[in-house]
Amino acid sequence: MDIVVKNLGLTDYEKTWMEMKNFISSNPENDEIWVTEHLPIFTSGLNKKDSIIPKTDIPHLFVDRGGKITYHGPGQLIIYLLINLLKNNLSIRQLVNIIEKSIIELLSMYSIKNSYSKKNAPGVYVSDKKIASIGLRVKNHYTYHGLSLNIDMDLSPFTLIAPCGFHGLEMTQVSALNKDYNNDIASTLVKLLQLNIK
């Protein structure tokens, strides 16, 4: 079956998180991909060790995805993957590899050629900076949460944290590397994900 794609627009993180959990609890017939951006928020995943919560007016939320602390805000593309691993004959590691591969393919299409993934630090990097993060959770063979790709956002909140637990890690974004990108970037990445998952 095709993966159903839903474009949610700008959303509240906690509300969307609850909707994801409700969706996978319903044992849905179809896989879905949700495309969104979030209002400004810091979130910390299940690996809370050494996480320092910034003192700021930006809200913070502990959530049930993998990984450590990160930031979400307008101008960052969020894609949530609500995928039945069993039906798709995938392991969680294979899905992470697919996500990383899809983002690297996307960036190459936008003339950002030197992106890569790291074996022990999920996500996608350009030079020594991080451009995309991945955090997933599996329940009853379904994944939820997903990826964030920095497109054209205020990166300064990242300087208040150790992004994904890495002190001194700098973040970058598509607009800093290719000013000629266009609004098709979200739909193009969704298509790559659909193709690579199936």
Q: Which residues are known catalytic residues?
A: 164
Distance CA 117, CA 111 (A): 17
125, 116 in Cβ contact below 8 A?
A: yes
- Mapped onto helix, strand or coil, the DSSP state of residue 95 is helix
CB crowding 70-91: b at 16 or more within 10 Å, else e: bbbbeebbbbbbbbbbeebebe
Rg (CA), the chain: 16
136, 67 in Cβ contact below 8 A?
A: no
